[in-house]
Structure 1
Amino acid sequence: MTSVAQILKSKTEPQPGENRPVVTITADASVYEAVKMMAAHHIGALVVLDGTEIAGIVTERDYARKIVLMDRSSKTTPVRDIMTRQVRYVTPADSAEQCMALMTTHRMRHLPVLDNEQLIGMISIGDLVKTIITDQQFTIQQLEHYITGVRT
C-alpha cells in the first residue's frame, strides 16, 4: 500500500539544496493572479494562506463555476470570495487508497498534505492514478513471473 509520503517523494525531485515548495496565495490576491500562478506552475489548485494558517483552497473548478459562469471579473474579485474554506487534508502516513476514497466521497481533485500542522505538499487525483497504475503494473509483473516461473 503506497503512502502519501511515497507519492510526494516520487513527484519531481527538486534540485540539490532546493525545497519542493507548495504554491500558495493569499486571500487578498485577485482570482486573476491565482489563475496566472496555476498556469505558470502547471497546477490546478492553490492553498490559500492567511499568514501561516491555511484559510482555504482555490481551484480551476472554482474559477470556472464562480467567476466565468457568474460573469464576474477575475481581476477585481479576491480569492477569498471564491475559495473553499473547509479544507480537507491528508498526512504523509495516509495511503493512496484513503486519499482516493476521500476525493471520491467529497468530489475533489486536490489534497494538501500536512505534517505536524505544517503544509508540506499537495497531491492530485493525477498523482493517485499514476500511483495506482504503477502498483497494478508491478502486481501484474509479479504474477506473470510467478506463472511462468521466472524469478527476479
Structure 2
Amino acid sequence: MRPLQQLIEAKRSMVSVGPEDTVFTALTLLAQFDIGALPVLEGNRLVGIFSERDYARKIVLKGKASKETPVREIMSEKVTCVTLKETVEECMALMTDKHIRHLPVLGADNQMLGILSIGDLVKETISHQKFTIDQLVHYIQN
C-alpha cells in the first residue's frame, strides 16, 4: 500500500477552521467540500477537531445557535493523531480501536499535514487488494 505521505498528497488541499470561527462557518465548509470533519488550527498548530457528530451532540441537542457559537466551545480537544511513519493498516486499527472516523496526520514539529478519513483508508485497502488479485489472476492464467 502507498505510504501516508502519498495519500495526503493525493487529496485536495486541506480545509480547516480556527477556534474563534462560528459553528455555522464550519458547517458551511463541511457542506461545501463534502467532508465530515475539519481540523481546528491556531496558525499551523492543531488545537482540536470539529465534526458533524460534535454539531449534532453539542449544538442541536443542547439548543445552541450555530451562528453565535464559536467552534472552540464544541470542538473535540483530545485528538488522536498519527505521523507519516504509520501505515494504512496501523491507522485503520487505531481508528477502529478509538471509534474515530477522522485522523489528522502531523509532520515535523507537529505541523498539520492533512486529515485522513476511514473512507480514504478503506479505498486504499480495496485498491491494493484489487491490484494483488489482478496480479494473481494474471499469474494463474499465464
For 1:98-113, list aligned pairs within 5 A: 98-113=90-105
Mapped partners of 2:31, 2:99: distance in 1: 22
Query: Is residue 2:2 matched to residue 1:6?
Result: no
Deviation track 1:102-136 (CA, whole Å, cap 9, x = no partner) reads 11111111111111021111111111011011011
Query: Is residue 2:50 matched to residue 1:79?
Result: no
What is the SS of the residue equivalent to 2:89?
A: helix
Query: Is residue 2:44 matched to residue 1:44?
Result: no
Query: Is residue 2:58 matched to residue 1:66?
Result: yes
Assess if the C-alpha contact under 8 Å between 1:5 and 1:93 holds in 2.
no
Mapped partners of 1:127, 1:49: distance in 2: 22
Structure 1 residue 29, shift from structure 2 partner: 1.3
**TM-score, with structure 2 as normaliser:** 0.91
Mapped partners of 1:39, 1:80: distance in 2: 19
Mapped partners of 1:65, 1:124: distance in 2: 20
Mapped partners of 2:46, 2:5: distance in 1: 20
**TM-score, with structure 1 as normaliser:** 0.85
What is the SS of the residue equivalent to 2:82?
A: coil
Runs (5+) with no aligned partner, structure 2: none
Structure 1 residue 93, shift from structure 2 partner: 2.5
Structure 1 residue 96, shift from structure 2 partner: 0.6
Aligned pairs, how many? 141
Mapped partners of 1:30, 1:78: distance in 2: 4
Assess if the C-alpha contact under 8 Å between 1:47 and 1:58 holds in 2.
yes
Q: Report what 1:125 is aligned to.
A: 118
What is the SS of the residue equivalent to 2:56?
A: helix
Structure 1 residue 36, shift from structure 2 partner: 0.7
Give the letter for the 1:74 counterpart: S
1:143 to 131, 136, 139: 136
Query: Is residue 2:23 matched to residue 1:31?
Result: yes
Q: Report what 1:16 is aligned to.
A: none
Matched-pair identity in %: 49
Q: Please give the root-mean-square deviation of Cα atoms over the aligned residues, in Å.
A: 1.4
